[in-house]
């Protein structure tokens, strides 16, 4: 991905100076572009993931391109003790965070009847459980210190109309939406606010390999749908997502609380924005998809350091 320049951002240089932002899963894909925008605008940025080499290389790449301070941390958010250790390390490294982006996730397409308990847990433990424990860990610290903060969670439009063939993800994202709405009210008086972004298709390696297996790089027509059916006729542009995230993280959006903003070109209103068209697949297509997804999972697992 080409590095952003200031022309890609709608904000003035230094806008995020003094902000301290943690982006889970920030070493790749959407998390990495949100990290890049925050860094370019002067924030100190922390990114975490299970593949220590990936987060460290991304942090280095972003600092080489833009300067500033981006710290890569190896952490598995499925493990509450590991989250606590990471947050202790961040707080010891310059004080409280001012923003959190719940972006880390796992997902793959599968017929629901084919999911084993371990397959369900593989997704729910990251998205449903892990997101809660990262949020709670930050919230406890913010409340104790009287620190205001903004939490942005990356969801999907399936929270509104369901996610056929991605049921553990859709269920978990819907639960995170409920967490955000609940805490927007419960912690609003502490100045801690919660908003969600529900992206449509933004091609990333992690997403394409698991949601469009075998068709990586086919941005216009894939398992997710035919992009000509999207009212905007295209997939998302990373700059559009990054600018929205910066807006929600910045203190000047402080009266925006408890909201979910879709960024999908109105795809879900037009087409459902989910994998309903995979109803046409038979056993052969599902076997090929599963084999391809599992090859990606194995490759990624081999790079994990935690
Ligand atoms: C059925 C599958 C499967 C598949 C894995 N499993 N892939 N079952 N169909 N395609 C089963 C395995 O057989 C195993 O169960 C269980 O799931 C756990 O698999 P592991 O590979 O051991 O899991 P793990 O190493 O924990 O990896 C977690 C993961 C992996 C979620 C499975 O995909 C991952 O790490 N993903 C992180 C990145 C990611 O997913 N990014 C995409 C986000 S995109 P058994 O019982 O056999 O042992 C996104 C976009 C949404 O969310 C919107 C798009 C428009
Ligand atoms: P991605 O590149 O695969 O990003 C997922 C990130 O989460 C990876 O960096 C991964 O790193 C990290 N992660 C997974 N499990 C983790 C764990 N247990 N602990 C810590 N980090 C973990 O995919 P993406 O497309 O950018 O997705 C980012 C977010 O956007 C996700 O929430 C996804 O659901 C959402 N989304 C994406 C799209 C899209 O079109 N791309 C659309 C809608 C929503 P490790 O594997 O190294 O841990």
The CATH code of the domain that includes 109 is 3.40.50.720
Q: Residue 252: inside a domain, yes or no?
A: yes
Q: Residue 58: inside a domain, yes or no?
A: yes
Q: Is the pLDDT of residue 222 over 60?
A: no
| Ligand 2 proximity of 264 Cβ (cutoff 6 Å) | no
Q: What is the pLDDT of residues 50-67, one digit of tens each?
A: 999 999 999 999 999 999
Q: Residue 106: inside a domain, yes or no?
A: yes
Q: What does the radius of gyration of the chain's CA atoms come to, in whole angstroms?
A: 18
Range list of H helices, the chain: 29-40, 52-66, 80-92, 117-124, 131-145, 158-161, 167-186, 205-211, 238-249, 267-271, 283-302
pLDDT band at 304 (very low <50, low <70, confident <90, very high): very high
Q: Residue 78: inside a domain, yes or no?
A: yes
| Ligand 1 proximity of 169 Cβ (cutoff 6 Å) | yes
pLDDT band at 100 (very low <50, low <70, confident <90, very high): very high
* Total structural domains within the chain: 1
Q: Is the pLDDT of residue 228 over 90?
A: no
Which of 103, 108, 206 to mutate for ligand 1's pocket (most ligand atoms within 8 Å of CB)?
108
pLDDT band at 221 (very low <50, low <70, confident <90, very high): very low
Q: Residue 222: inside a domain, yes or no?
A: yes
Taking every pair of Cα atoms in the chain, the longest distance, rounded to a whole number of angstroms, is 56
Ligand 1 centroid – CA 210 distance (Å): 8
Q: Can you give the pLDDT at residue 220?
A: 44
Q: Does an H or E element contain 260, and which?
A: strand 259-263
| Ligand 1 proximity of 211 Cβ (cutoff 6 Å) | yes
Ligand 2 centroid – CA 206 distance (Å): 7
What whole-number distance in Å separates Cα of residue 281 and Cα of residue 207?
A: 19
Q: Can you give the pLDDT at residue 217?
A: 47
Q: Residue 306: inside a domain, yes or no?
A: no
pLDDT band at 290 (very low <50, low <70, confident <90, very high): very high
Per the structure, the complete domain to which residue 120 belongs is given by: 6-301
CA atoms within 13 A on the CB side of 148: 13
Tokens 């700059």: give the residue. 239
Whole-angstrom CA distances from 140 to 87, 102, 110, 131 are: 11, 16, 37, 14
Look at the chain and count its residues: 306
Whole-angstrom CA distances from 137 to 45, 47, 82, 86, 285 are: 18, 16, 11, 10, 42
Q: Residue 284: inside a domain, yes or no?
A: yes
Q: Residue 1: inside a domain, yes or no?
A: no
End-to-end CA distance of the chain: 26
pTM metric for this prediction = 0.97
| Ligand 1 proximity of 113 Cβ (cutoff 6 Å) | no
Q: Can you give the pLDDT at residue 195?
A: 99
Which of 24, 26, 28, 306 to mutate for ligand 2's pocket (most ligand atoms within 8 Å of CB)?
28
Instruction: Name the closest-CA residue to atom 34, ligand 1.
Output: 106
Ligand 2 centroid – CA 146 distance (Å): 30
């Amino acid at each position: 991905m080409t590095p952003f320049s200031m022309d890609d951002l709608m904000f003035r240089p230094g806008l995020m100076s003094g902000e301290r932002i943690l982006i889970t899963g920030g070493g790749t894909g959407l998390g990495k572009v949100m990290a890049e925008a925050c860094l370019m605008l002067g924030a100190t940025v922390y990114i975490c993931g299970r593949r220590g080499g990936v987060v460290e290389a991304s942090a280095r790449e972003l600092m080489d391109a833009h300067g500033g301070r981006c710290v890569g941390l190896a952490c598995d958010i499925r493990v509450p003790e590991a989250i606590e250790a990471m947050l202790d390390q961040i707080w010891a490294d310059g004080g409280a965070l001012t923003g959190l982006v719940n972006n880390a996730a796992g997902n793959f397409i599968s017929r629901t009847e084919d999911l084993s308990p371990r397959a369900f847990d593989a997704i729910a433990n990251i998205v449903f459980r892990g997101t809660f424990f990262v949020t709670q860990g930050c919230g406890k610290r913010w409340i104790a210190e009287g620190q205001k903060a903004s939490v942005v969670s990356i969801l999907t439009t399936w929270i509104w109309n369901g996610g056929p063939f991605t049921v553990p993800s859709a269920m978990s994202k819907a639960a995170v939406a409920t967490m955000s709405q609940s805490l927007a009210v419960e912690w609003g008086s502490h100045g801690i606010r919660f908003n969600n972004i529900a992206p449509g298709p933004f091609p990333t390696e992690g997403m394409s390999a698991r949601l469009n297996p075998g068709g990586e790089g086919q941005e216009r027509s894939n398992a997710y749908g035919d992009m000509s059916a999207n009212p905007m006729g295209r997939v998302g542009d990373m700059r559009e997502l990054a600018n929205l995230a910066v807006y929600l993280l910045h203190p000047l959006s402080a009266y925006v609380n408890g909201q979910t903003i879709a960024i999908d070109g109105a795809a879900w209103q037009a087409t459902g924005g989910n994998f309903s068209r995979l109803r046409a697949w038979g056993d052969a297509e599902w076997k090929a998809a599963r084999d391809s997804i599992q090859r990606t999972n194995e490759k990624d697992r081999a790079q994990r350091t935690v």
